[in-house]
Amino acid sequence: MSAERETNQNMAQGDTAHSDITFLLADAADGVEIGIAPYQAVVRGGRRRRARRWAVASAAALVIAGSTGTLALAGIDNGDKVNQVAVRPPSPEERHVYEPQRTTVAMGTDRGREWRVTIDIWGAPRNEEEAVRQFGAIIDYGEWPPYARIPKNLVGKGFFSVSLSVGDARRPVMQGEIDRAYGMSGTDLESAAIPLEAKTSDQAGALNRLVIGRVAARARTVTCTWDDGTTSVAHKVPANYAANNKVPVIRPVAGSEAAWFVCLGKEGQESKSVRVTG
């Protein structure tokens, strides 16, 4: 009987400790809100719904971790032992600070020239030392930070860079901040229509018949309408779907919460409108 009574007491103490931790985590989470950062790309058409997200578990973990970058997970063992497990923060390499995650969204052949659209997702540096190294890496990739003339301005900001390659020429055509504070949903869409030309100097008088954009991950179809009244419909495909195809697709991009699509009009066509249709 005495052993049973002692066991019950220990269990009660354990329940109380767990309850205390639960209330502490809830209080900590109430004081943490993930804010909204602006999106910096030059876009055409569409809108974006701005919704705040609360991440209670993540917020509580950040409060516990404090400034050390190490999270201690406490476990109750018979009411008198506390086990702590140190969680190592991800390295800059794991966060893709110095080398981006690259995805080929679309590719094909037009008028005898091979073309492709790729997207690089760069992780956010956490301090000025990481930012300086990232700044050099971005330049080496033939790109330019969208909101930085000095490296320290990169701290805390991840971004995407969309590049168009035609033949041997490659140039960035769209850039913007990766905003993790809110996501795209429903019929939200951001896009740009540009000429399919190898160099900027070749664009004089060229038609904007290459449409590149991003939509919510759940979007199933995007309809691109051309100035002659015809349409091209991009359908959602999995990440491993072949990029070399003759029809437009919507595909996930590594490191991006949104899905991306590309529509190419025929020679003589120009983009008129773009919208999510499914």
Reported as a single tens digit per residue, the pLDDT across 258-275 is 999 999 999 999 999 999
pLDDT for 110-127, tens place per residue? 989 999 999 999 999 999
Cα angle: 12, vertex 16, 18; to 5 degrees: 115
The CB-side HSE value for 32 (13 A sphere, CA atoms) comes to 18
pLDDT at 85: 54
User: pLDDT-based confidence at 197, cuts 50/70/90?
Assistant: confident
User: pLDDT-based confidence at 84, cuts 50/70/90?
Assistant: low
Give the whole-angstrom CA distance, residue 92 versus residue 95.
5
Give the whole-angstrom CA distance, residue 278 versus residue 271.
20
Cβ atoms of 244 and 107 within 8 Å: the answer is yes
pLDDT for 11-43, tens place per residue? 444 444 444 444 443 444 444 443 333 333 334
C-alpha distances in Å from residue 40, one per residue of 210, 215, 250, 253: 21, 16, 22, 19
pLDDT at 262: 97
Cβ atoms of 178 and 256 within 8 Å: the answer is yes
Neighbours of 180 (CB within 10 A): 12
- Please, what is the average pLDDT of the chain? 75
pLDDT at 244: 81
Asked whether the predicted pLDDT for residue 209 surpasses 90, the reply is: yes
User: pLDDT-based confidence at 243, cuts 50/70/90?
Assistant: confident
What residues contact residue 44 under an 8 Å CB cut-off, 6+ apart? 191, 192, 193, 274
Neighbours of 273 (CB within 10 A): 16
User: pLDDT-based confidence at 79, cuts 50/70/90?
Assistant: low
What are the φ/ψ torsions at residue 230 (nearest 5 degrees)? -80, 165
Give the whole-angstrom CA distance, residue 63 versus residue 25.
9
Cβ atoms of 122 and 160 within 8 Å: the answer is yes
Closest residue by Cα to residue 176 from 232, 218, 121, 126: 121
Q: 139-143 contacts: CB < 8 A, separation 24 or more? A: 141/100, 142/170, 142/172, 143/172, 143/175
* Percentage, residues of the chain above pLDDT 70: 66
pLDDT for 149-188, tens place per residue? 789 889 998 999 999 999 989 988 998 888 765 678 999 9
User: pLDDT-based confidence at 58, cuts 50/70/90?
Assistant: very low
pLDDT at 181: 52
pLDDT at 201: 66
Cβ atoms of 161 and 120 within 8 Å: the answer is yes
pLDDT at 210: 96
Q: Hey, is 209 helix, strand or coil?
A: coil
Q: Going by DSSP bridges, is the β-strand pair 249-252/231-236 parallel, antiparallel, or unpaired?
A: parallel
